[in-house]
Structure formats: C-alpha cells, structure tokens
Amino acid sequence: MPDNCIFCQIVAEQAPAHRVIEDDLAVAFCDIFPIATGHTLVIPRQHAANVFEIDEEPMRATAALARRVSHALRDALAPDGLAVYQANGAAAGQTVWHYHVHLIPRNDGEPLAFHGRTRADDAELAAMAKRIAGHLPG
Ligand code: 5GP
Ligand code: ZN
C-alpha cells in the first residue's frame, strides 16, 4: 500500500475512522468533513487511485456495500434524497487518491456542495456511525 494514503491507513486501522460496516473487500465510514448529516464514504480495501485503476471485483464490492449503506441511511435519517458521488481526477473534485464512493443524504432546498468545510465532532460521528449501522441487517 502507498505509505501516504490515508484511506489505506484507515483500512489497516492505522488511522482512526468511525466505521459503519465492513466486509472482506470494502469498508464504509463517516466522512470527517461531512457535507450533510450522515455523509458516508465507501472504499475498497485494496488500493486503487480511482475508476481508471480499480479492478472490477473491488469496484463491485464497493458498489454492493454502498447499496446496503444507502438503505440504512434512508431508514436511519429519512432524507428527501441520497446523492451517490464518485470523483476521478482533480478536475472532477477528487482530493483523496484512493477510490471512494460518497453517500450524501440530501434534503429539499439544501444547496449542493462537494466538500465540507467543518471537521465534524468525533462524538457526533461515532453516534452517527452507530445509528446507521443499527439499520443494517445483522
Ligand atoms: P474527494 O474530494 O476525493 O471526492 O473526497 C475525499 C473525501 O474524504 C472528502 O469528503 C473528505 O472530507 C474526506 N476525508 C479526507 N480525509 C479524511 C480522513 O482522514 N477521514 C475521513 N473519515 N474522511 C476524510
Ligand atoms: Zn490507498
């Protein structure tokens, strides 16, 4: 794994993250600069910078876990909608070079944004991760 990849460090539990759920191939955790309450990232365990590098199997696994977490977010937070966003390259807004899918609960009238400016409170993220996980089938 690249030494300086923060998401590889999260996968390896060398960096902290508020995990929602994980399986053999992918991990879901709360975004630390959330655009909206419940903003969750889903990543493959295996490092790949973006859609141009990732293999099919980890991409499928990431999509499948994102689907499960999407249902849990809807059940937990009842947003008006849910944006699924995935950036490839700086021009598309990518800032972390390990493939990731954003799950962003959306509500009517809220302005669209791609990046949050405020680091979330850890206790709040921990509570949110638990709340979403509570809506996943065991
Ligand atoms: P991108 O801009 O590449 O599409 O998304 C990167 C996302 O990762 C951003 O929403 C940013 O807030 C989030 N992020 C960056 N560093 C960390 C981190 O150390 N922990 C967590 N949980 N999220 C991070
Ligand atoms: Zn990585």
Q: Which ligand is nearest to the CA of 98?
A: 2
| Whether the CB of 43 sits within 6 Å of ligand 1 | no
| Whether the CB of 87 sits within 6 Å of ligand 1 | yes
Statement: residue 79 has pLDDT above 90: yes
Q: How far is the CA of 94 from the centre of ligand 2 (A)?
A: 13
Q: What is the pLDDT of residue 117?
A: 86
Statement: residue 4 has pLDDT above 80: yes
Q: What is the pLDDT of residues 82-132, one digit of tens each?
A: 999 999 999 999 999 999 999 999 999 998 888 888 999 999 999 999 999
Q: Which ligand is nearest to the CA of 19?
A: 1
The side-by-side arrangement of strands in the sheet containing 81-85 is 19-22, 26-30, 40-44, 101-106, 81-85
Q: In whole angstroms, give the CA distance from residue 2 to residue 61.
A: 21
- How confident is the prediction for the chain on average, in pLDDT? 96
pTM listed for this prediction = 0.96
Statement: residue 30 has pLDDT above 90: yes
Q: What is the pLDDT of residue 12?
A: 97
Alpha helices in 1-121 (DSSP H): 6-11, 56-77
Domains for the chain: give ranges and CATH numbers.
Answer: 16-125 (3.30.428.10)
The amino acid that residue 113 corresponds to is A
Q: In whole angstroms, give the CA distance from residue 20 to residue 92.
A: 26
| Whether the CB of 134 sits within 6 Å of ligand 1 | no
